[in-house]
Amino acid sequence: MVDYIGVSDVARIISSMGAGAFMERLAGEIEADYRRWSQFEKSARLASHSPVGVIELMPTSDGRLYSFKYVNGHPKNTAQGLLTVTAFGVLADVDTGYPLLLSELTVTTALRTAAMSALAAKWLARPGSRVMALIGNGAQSEFQAIAFHRMLGIRELKLFDVDGAASAKLEHNLRALPELSDFDIVRTGSTQEACRGADIITTVTADKRNAVILTPPMIAPGTHVNAVGGDCPGKTELHADVLRMPQVRVVVEYEPQSRIEGEIQQMPADYPVVEFADICCGRAPARTSPAQITIFDSVGFALEDYSALRFLHLLASEQRDACRQIDLVPRLPDPKDLFGGTLGGGRRARLRKVS
């Protein structure tokens, strides 16, 4: 039997732990895995693009455990009442090849994306950052707000979305959470207004195009930019001149993948960036001055999904009611007799006896 965690199981876990606590613990697991960066197999995700979206596979292994995630991104899905992003994943034992866990990753990806954003900001944002602009108030926005409130102490959130209903939805959902009672939530009329006075700017828009969400005049010295929405070829949020600003320092997850999918796809191949693993392992400094503008060019990397699956599997071992089990792999009296043990007469006889 294989452990299975579905959407209802994740919802039950979050109801028990709280979304903020879950993301804070998950961020710790992600950081621990980044600290052993050299142990992981690394590759850019395998992507199948269409005019309306992308379907991707994201595998990695540390030699002991193997994981992959299946994920799509289809921005126009919401017009049909469908989610823009859905995902599931598998954690497997390398020694046997047997799957240990099959899990939903639609909700968990939203949690791990926000956990990774807040983790990067803990390293890169100025100490004492308390005001965040949140540009794009769709499916990921609540998770980002909760993570930054919990992990960085953000107290003022300035919202903007071209869809006013999305901002109203976000504000409603956040105000319903008792742990965010000290959050000052301000809806603004433009990106420029939202960014004014912000210590951190998070962009998390969904359009699959080279959008211009931020331009240099919107970004004050010392700001940390959490650029989340640009995550595939032809999909960006920052004007290229933002990346050319002399005081900018760009941090990525896995450089070969970010060159294809991140904001830096707009720049020459020799454009300088720093990998996050080098920062958290002490091989490179994070912020080098209070006036420096730091950009976390986030596209999502397979290691983070590995961490999320490993964390869910740990929770399943600690709390058996955190998961269910499914017969994804046959259990056979004779492992050399697949037919007889599943479809043959002996199997049917056993089933009749049980019934």
Active site residues: 231
Residue with tokens 């960085």: 152
Report residue 222 as tokens. 């010392």
- In the chain, helix, strand, coil percent, each to 5? 40, 25, 35
CA distance 212 to 27: 29
Find the helix or strand (DSSP H, E) in which 341 lies.
Answer: helix 338-342
Q: What letter would DSSP give residue 79?
A: G
Residue with tokens 């959407």: 7
Which residues have CB under 8 Å from 340's CB, separation 6+? 334, 346, 347
Phi, psi of 196 (to 5 degrees): -65, 120
Q: Coil, strand, or helix at residue 195? A: helix
User: Which DSSP string do the residues of 117-167 spell out, in sequence order?
Assistant: HHHHHHHHSPTT--EEEEE--STTHHHHHHHHHHHH---EEEEE-SSHHHH
- Would strands 131-135 and 87-93 be described as parallel, antiparallel, or unpaired? unpaired
Q: What is the 3-state secondary structure (H, E, C) of 300-326?
A: CCHHHHHHHHHHHHHHHHHCHHHCEEE
Report residue 278 as tokens. 């080098």
Q: Coil, strand, or helix at residue 52? A: coil
Find the helix or strand (DSSP H, E) in which 352 lies.
Answer: helix 345-354
Residue with tokens 């004007």: 239
CA distance 215 to 237: 9
Cα 187 versus chain centre, distance:
25
Decide if 196 contacts 222 (C-beta within 8 A). no
